[in-house]
Structure 1
Amino acid sequence: MLNDAILIAGPTASGKSALALRLAMETGGVIVNADSMQVYDVLRVLSARPGADDLARVPHHLYGHVPPSVAYSTGAWLEDVAALAKKSSLSGRRPIFVGGTGLYFRALLDGIAPTPPVPEDIRNHWRQRLLDEGPEALHRLLSERDAAAAEAIGVTDGQRITRALEVHDATGRALSTWQNETTVPLVKKSECTCIVLEPERAFVTERIERRFDSMVEEGALDEVRSLLALDLSAALPAMKAIGVPELAAYLRNECSLEDAIMRAKTATRRYSKRQATWFRHQLDEDWLRLPIGSQAGSADELLKLIRNNLE
């Protein structure tokens, strides 16, 4: 089990990575990625991975280590964290987990259902059906096979719907029954500091606008070209990363670059709102909630509050 960990959650473009970097430099810690898109090797720009300067200042782990052809899962991430915990790279150093994927934090603190690996042919089958039939049709099918899982999963959440169906197909057991059996948590909540950033809407919207413009300037189109050249299934998580479908449409001459950028910014704003809602309702009172924005305290004041919480 990892001791004295710091967990930093928050919606996209809320300043999580910058806060994690400052804390890591102050505490001699190491940063561990907890964002499901920043794991993919070809999405350095579009996933807003830390840059070369940040990587040189502090050790970073689990960034860009997964090929886009892999449907990386929460379980795979937790296994990678467990492998890190056994290595000397974390020995004697405070791990700082930072990202916007709520299920990663939940798995870290609560454990996860130990579902067996799903054969690739079964996984591909359900990915294709998702493309052909859409999430709502598969959600109706899931309701027949695993009513408990269907009730817990939104009708438009194609990734989680297909995950439940493929587990049932591969194991003959409903995902909801597997979820009643969880692994031992890797982090004990009472011995870590949990922080969630709560940015003002106007603040994060402005940051999203600026950041996506910078992404285009820094090579986001080249990343999407490289990704499309791999001829991967459109159902793979990396192919659905925000910015990929939108810029791919431009590269296929289906819209102007201006329209593609506008759609990507809109998708990012909507995603940020969903993240904020999830964190607000799913993270309990043990999480230190920090307001971010023009009406909030300065970065130094927030760091002082965190330092006091660490003592």
Structure 2
Amino acid sequence: MARTGVRQGERIRAVLIAGPTASGKSALAIEIARRTGGVVVNADSMQVYADLRILTARPSEAEEAMVPHRLYGHVDGAVNYSAMRYASDVTALLGELRGEGRLPILVGGTGLYFKAVTEGFSAMPPVPEAVRAAFRMRAEGLETVALHAELARVDPAMAERLKPSDRMRIMRALEVFEATGRSLASFQGEREPGPLGEEGLLRLFIHPERETVRRQIDSRFEAMIEAGALDEVSRLKARGLDPLLPIMRAHGVPGLIAHLDGEISLAEAILRGQADTRAYAKRQVTWFRHQMAGWQAVSPSDALGAALAGLEG
């Protein structure tokens, strides 16, 4: 089997495992780490947060005890964590693992994280918290369409790229302009290299049958509720965090908060969470198909064999 992304005889420096949610990625990463003495490294934008172990399907404590896991639950939910921050954390971690002679096994479903550590990322400017807070206070009472109109006035290039209903990205573009006086578009062309580069990588995309993923997503969401996901969301809600923060938009959170507010039943919240997660899984497959050239697509049953064959050369 071809060693995707690796020249003949080249040493594997890292294993990258991607795929839609509920496709068995984490179990595969653990097994590879067990066999190689490697370290499982999170590449999922929601599993970085400490607040939602159950609802984001982070590895259990028992799974984490089987092999070393890194970059899981290391970020507080009040933080607007980004692909740039992730690449920085991975850069530091790779230096540590190289010193120990351990194989990093990056696993997750966030395409931007994989792009950030391989192809690099646009050098987006940090927005000072004081600027962010002042702008969001001013924007709180404004409709999204009004914010888009403001963006069109100060940064027409970005306004043309964004849908008038995309509040999160409109806010980001306005904050960057407020902080720097420059269009966000001007930063997007400035690319910094990723810490992994693109050589010596074994890249696998786990691609199960669509109906199988749909069934697994639905059953897993119900299992999360039974395991205490609603209590997790209740504690998160009590923190009173900015609703635009990534953690507040994690799959299942909006519906469960609506239930806690008495707006919908728990059954309706579960159905909403399942539907949102299924739609996300579909988007993940589409993203990797169009954005991540050079990845080897394998079925869940063939994934371990493909990984071991790639590592053996």
Calculate the TM-score normalised by the size of structure 2: 0.88
Amino acid at match of 1:291: S
Q: Residues 36-76 of structure 1: CA distance to partner in whole angstroms, max 9, x if unpaired?
A: 11011110000000001110111111111111111111111
Q: Say if 2:39 and 2:102, in contact at 8 Å, map to a contact too.
A: yes
Question: What's 2:309 paired with?
Answer: 308
Instruction: Tell me whether 1:246 sits opposite 2:255 in the alignment.
Output: yes
Amino acid at match of 1:18: A
CA 1:62/1:155 → structure 2, altered by over 3 Å: closer, same or farther? farther
Q: Say if 1:242 and 1:264, in contact at 8 Å, map to a contact too.
A: yes
Question: What's 1:47 paired with?
Answer: 56
Q: Residues 82-112 of structure 1: CA distance to partner in whole angstroms, max 9, x if unpaired?
A: 1212325863111111111111111111112
CA 1:223/1:160 → structure 2, altered by over 3 Å: closer, same or farther? same
Structure 1 position 309, deviation (Å): 2.5
Partner Cα distance (1:57, 1:206) in 2: 27
3-state SS of the aligned residue for 1:8? strand
Question: What's 1:289 paired with?
Answer: 297
3-state SS of the aligned residue for 1:55? helix
Structure 1 position 246, deviation (Å): 0.8
Partner Cα distance (1:154, 1:193) in 2: 36
Question: What's 1:296 paired with?
Answer: none
Partner Cα distance (2:147, 2:232) in 1: 31
Question: What's 1:295 paired with?
Answer: none
3-state SS of the aligned residue for 1:189? coil
Question: What's 1:163 paired with?
Answer: 172
Question: What's 2:86 paired with?
Answer: 77
Structure 1 position 27, deviation (Å): 1.6
Partner Cα distance (1:240, 1:63) in 2: 18
Instruction: Tell me whether 1:236 sits opposite 2:245 in the alignment.
Output: yes
CA 1:186/1:154 → structure 2, altered by over 3 Å: closer, same or farther? farther
CA-based RMSD? 2.3
Q: Say if 1:30 and 1:90, in contact at 8 Å, map to a contact too.
A: no
Amino acid at match of 2:114: F
User: What are the ranges of 5 or more consecutive residues in structure 2 without an aligned counterpart?
Assistant: 1-10
Question: What's 2:216 paired with?
Answer: 207
CA 1:154/1:273 → structure 2, altered by over 3 Å: closer, same or farther? farther
Amino acid at match of 1:45: I
Q: Relative contact order (alpha carbons < 8 A, sep ≥ 6): 1 or 2 greater? A: 2
Alignment counterpart, residue 101 of structure 2, candidates 75, 89, 92: 92
Amino acid at match of 2:298: L
Which stretch shows the higher mean deviation, 244-253 or 40-49?
Answer: 244-253
Q: Say if 2:122 and 2:190, in contact at 8 Å, map to a contact too.
A: yes
Partner Cα distance (1:89, 1:50) in 2: 24
Question: What's 2:199 paired with?
Answer: 190
Question: What's 1:272 paired with?
Answer: 281
Alignment counterpart, residue 62 of structure 1, candidates 54, 71, 96: 71
Structure 1 position 150, deviation (Å): 4.6
CA 1:247/1:171 → structure 2, altered by over 3 Å: closer, same or farther? same
Q: Say if 1:242 and 1:267, in contact at 8 Å, map to a contact too.
A: yes
Q: Say if 1:3 and 1:187, in contact at 8 Å, map to a contact too.
A: no
Q: Say if 2:47 and 2:73, in contact at 8 Å, map to a contact too.
A: yes
Q: Say if 1:142 and 1:161, in contact at 8 Å, map to a contact too.
A: yes
CA 1:228/1:145 → structure 2, altered by over 3 Å: closer, same or farther? same
Which stretch shows the higher mean deviation, 76-85 or 141-150?
Answer: 141-150
Amino acid at match of 1:266: A
Identical aligned residues as a percent: 48
Q: Say if 1:197 and 1:291, in contact at 8 Å, map to a contact too.
A: yes
Amino acid at match of 2:33: A
Partner Cα distance (1:162, 1:269) in 2: 27
Structure 1 position 182, deviation (Å): 1.8
